[in-house]
Amino acid sequence: MFRKFTWRNAGITLLACFVCTAEAYAQNCNCAVTIPLTQQSFNASTVQPGDTVCLAAGVRTRNLLITNVNGTAANPIVFINCGGKVTFSLASGLSYGIKFQGSKHFRITGTGSSDLYGIVVDSAAQGMQLEALSTNFEVDHLEIKNSGFAGIMAKTDNSGRGTFVMRNVKFHHNYMHDQRTGEGFYIGHFNWAVDGDQHDIDTLELYDNITERTGREGIQIGCTYSGKAKIYNNRVIDPGLLNLANQRSGVQLGNGFSGSFYNNYIEDPVANGITVLGVGNVYVYNNVIVNPGEMAIYSGHPTSEAGKHFYYVNNTILMGSSTQPVIRFDPTVACTGYIQNNAIVRTATDTAFDRMSGTMVVSGNVIRTTAAPFNFENAAAGNYDLLTGSVAINAGVNPTGFSIPFDFENRPRPVAAYDAGAYEFQGTPGPTVLYRVNAGGLEVAATPIPWEKDKQTDPCAWLDPASPNYTTGSDQPWGGTNTTDAPSQIFSTNRYAAFGGTQVNYNFPVSNGTYEVRLYFAENSNQAAGLRVFDVQAEGTVRLDNFDIYAAAGYRNAHKETINVTVTDGTLDLDFVAVTGNPQINGIAIVPATAARQYVTQTTQPVVEKNRLLAYPVPLQNQLYIQKQENTTGTFSTEDVEVQLLNESGTLLYKARHQFTGGNMKPLNLSPLGLKPGLYFLRITGSKTNEVMKLLKR
């Protein structure tokens, strides 16, 4: 059996006197209203946009119905626990723990105390319901357990397709477990049909959640016909325990689903790892699937539409004892399944990919009967990163129809060529560039990746077409002055907003983290300052204010601006917004800002250093880098160590074994922990190392 260590299964260890001077947690919640422990219904019609509604801390034995929340997109109404944890300790016969009806533009969050999950719902048939035309909401840092059915259910039944659309909903950093007969997440109605009566969901994000021991799927998503669904960085453990026919998979991307499912980990589903029933334009990549009871991916598609295709690319799949096909493709209309670059351990030697109908394109997959040829870093501990000599290295192909700029650990891919599986081998220097766009022009060959074309009639995949954007310029060599690192051809064309348009917008899918965004400009038209002035926004924040290309560089001179951008929602948004004249952009490049580097005593960013151990960045972010130098002569350590992260109360949050190789350790992805601001302790123990370091999270 292949077994992945999960920090939740590690238990909680309290270390006596580990921290003897911890400060008590205190917070001013700025409550406009407080809901007492005994109150069962709350009509929010008089609560103003931007207000905070507090849930009194303590144990509630009654459920809570919240109605008529009317925030705005700019000023949502926030529901939060205040002054401590709120625990709904309910009788199992109650139909729900928390329910929202007729509400919009709100957030419910368990971040109002030092607890990882400050709102806990224990028992009830459903932990949380969001219904009766509720829309535009965010749910985070809740623990829901021992539900009779689903942990969280979000849908409005029979609301009329086209009459009501649920929009802009997010679920993140939640812990769903022990749902006895239902799903961890049940989002959108199962019986969606293009001519049916169930609503669509326009823009859904579900990320950094954990589900464990669910009766049906850990995650079931449907109705995202818009294609604006992103499901990523989730962990699904032991789903389908009710063993109910057709609902015992790890994840179901159900009727009406269109969107992306990536960087997720699925372990020990009773049946399939992923069941896909969607309409098409479904992208499943960079996932790890361990020990499926049946198939890793069943691709059935009762609602599939002609011309919308399915992509199963760069997944690491360990079939365990299952002898069923790894992927079965069975659409109901003429469409194509692209099965590429998967790394598969499978003892059976018959056909791995089973085409029942439609067309399959199969390339770049690596299948072996044992894990040994893959040379995983530590398969016994569930670490499927690749070491030197792995058969998966450079074995893949360029994926058809889209590119994958990062791997399961959020590192750049490809390095030299695409590897097979969810992990990209980083042992040799490779590209750190995720995206390049030649705005307004044709593709320009370059290493490590080309500058993507972005013509008027053939825009790049990341352009947001919502506003009137146009391209201009010649694809011939440029005759201006260029001292930047971009090819001169980049500056001969541009994309701009005009004729009533005020913005040029791009949206780049990325893993959460910090990125260096390089922007390239040249003023080839105006020969005076003040004629073209615009703002450059990243993630909704102005980063270049009243930017004037001529004022910065003059006429026909290439100019580069670099900004660092932190992304928390899986998409890096760039907006060029008019002030005077037409905003324009000539070229864009995006690079991870936290690429691993060699240990140096003097660093260019804040670090924590102790006895030749170095940890950065500080304050803590989602990725933590750790390095070790053995002595003053520059010898770098190679050592197997145990890494623990504890909060200031001594509670163990993370525990895993890692390897120092040449002084470097694989980055720790802390995003699933949902760390709150405060003090943390990093403990590293090995044959040569026994150190504790203090780390701050703001």
Tens digits of per-residue pLDDT, 341-356?
Answer: 999 999 988 889 999 9
Q: What is the DSSP letter of 455?
A: -
The pLDDT of residue 509 is above 70:
yes
* pLDDT of res. 2: 35
Contact 628, 636 (CB under 8 A): yes
The percentage of the chain sitting over the pLDDT mark of 90, rounded to a whole number, equals 60
H or E stretch covering 553: helix 549-553
Give the mean model confidence (pLDDT) for residues 489-512: 88
Q: What is the DSSP letter of 400?
A: S
Burial (0-12, 13-18, 19+ Cβ within 10 Å), 343 = buried
The pLDDT of residue 538 is above 70:
yes
What distance in Å separates the CA atoms of residue 541 and residue 333, rounded to the nearest whole number?
A: 44
CA-wise closest residue to 132 among 157, 96, 95, 150: 157
438 strand-pairing partners: 453, 587
Give the mean model confidence (pLDDT) for residues 677-697: 80
Give the mean model confidence (pLDDT) for residues 362-367: 96
- Radius of gyration in angstroms for the set of CA atoms belonging to the chain, rounded to a whole number: 26
Q: How far apart are the first and last CA of the chain?
A: 40
CA-wise closest residue to 339 among 417, 277, 285: 285
CA angle 496, 500, 506 (to 5 degrees): 40
Give the mean model confidence (pLDDT) for residues 546-564: 92
What distance in Å separates the CA atoms of residue 462 and residue 585, rounded to the nearest whole number?
A: 14
- How do residues 272-299 score in pLDDT, each as one tens digit? 999 999 899 999 999 999 999 999 999 9
* pLDDT of res. 630: 62
* pLDDT of res. 546: 92
- How do residues 623-662 score in pLDDT, each as one tens digit? 787 887 665 444 555 778 889 888 866 778 888 888 877 6
CA-wise closest residue to 339 among 284, 300, 293: 284
When pLDDT is cut at 50, 70 and 90, the band that residue 15 belongs to is very low
CA within 13 Å, CB half, 594: 27
587 strand-pairing partners: 438, 520
Output 202 or 23, whichever has higher pLDDT: 202
Which of these ranges, 209-213, 451-455, 690-694, has the smallest mean pLDDT? 690-694
558 φ, ψ (degrees, to nearest 5)? -65, 145
* pLDDT of res. 595: 38
When pLDDT is cut at 50, 70 and 90, the band that residue 598 belongs to is very low
CA within 13 Å, CB half, 482: 18
* pLDDT of res. 676: 81
When pLDDT is cut at 50, 70 and 90, the band that residue 604 belongs to is very low
Which of these ranges, 360-374, 455-469, 563-577, has the smallest mean pLDDT? 455-469
The pLDDT of residue 336 is above 70:
yes
* Amino acid sitting at position 113: S
Contact 456, 471 (CB under 8 A): yes
What distance in Å separates the CA atoms of residue 617 and residue 609, rounded to the nearest whole number?
A: 11
Tell me the residue ranges of DSSP E strands in 263-375: 265-267, 274-276, 282-285, 288-290, 297-299, 310-313, 316-318, 327-329, 336-340, 343-345, 353-355, 359-363, 366-368
When pLDDT is cut at 50, 70 and 90, the band that residue 53 belongs to is very high
Domains and CATH numbers, the chain: 1-29+599-698 (2.60.40.3080), 436-592 (2.60.120.430)
The pLDDT of residue 89 is above 50:
yes
Output 141 or 23, whichever has higher pLDDT: 141
**What does 603-633 look like in DSSP terms, one character per residue?**
-SS--EEETTEEEESSS--SEEEEEEB-STT
Contact 460, 453 (CB under 8 A): yes
CA-wise closest residue to 4 among 261, 366, 410, 288: 288
The pLDDT of residue 473 is above 80:
yes
The pLDDT of residue 396 is above 50:
yes
The percentage of the chain sitting over the pLDDT mark of 70, rounded to a whole number, equals 89
Which of these ranges, 367-381, 463-477, 677-691, has the smallest mean pLDDT? 677-691
The pLDDT of residue 609 is above 80:
no
The pLDDT of residue 506 is above 60:
yes
The pLDDT of residue 1 is above 70:
no
* pLDDT of res. 346: 96
The pLDDT of residue 463 is above 70:
yes
Give the mean model confidence (pLDDT) for residues 594-607: 35
The pLDDT of residue 203 is above 50:
yes
* pLDDT of res. 698: 65
Give the mean model confidence (pLDDT) for residues 547-576: 92
Of the ranges 88-102, 258-272, 370-384, 635-649, which is most confident? 258-272
CA angle 74, 80, 85 (to 5 degrees): 160
What distance in Å separates the CA atoms of residue 238 and residue 218, rounded to the nearest whole number?
A: 8
* pLDDT of res. 611: 56
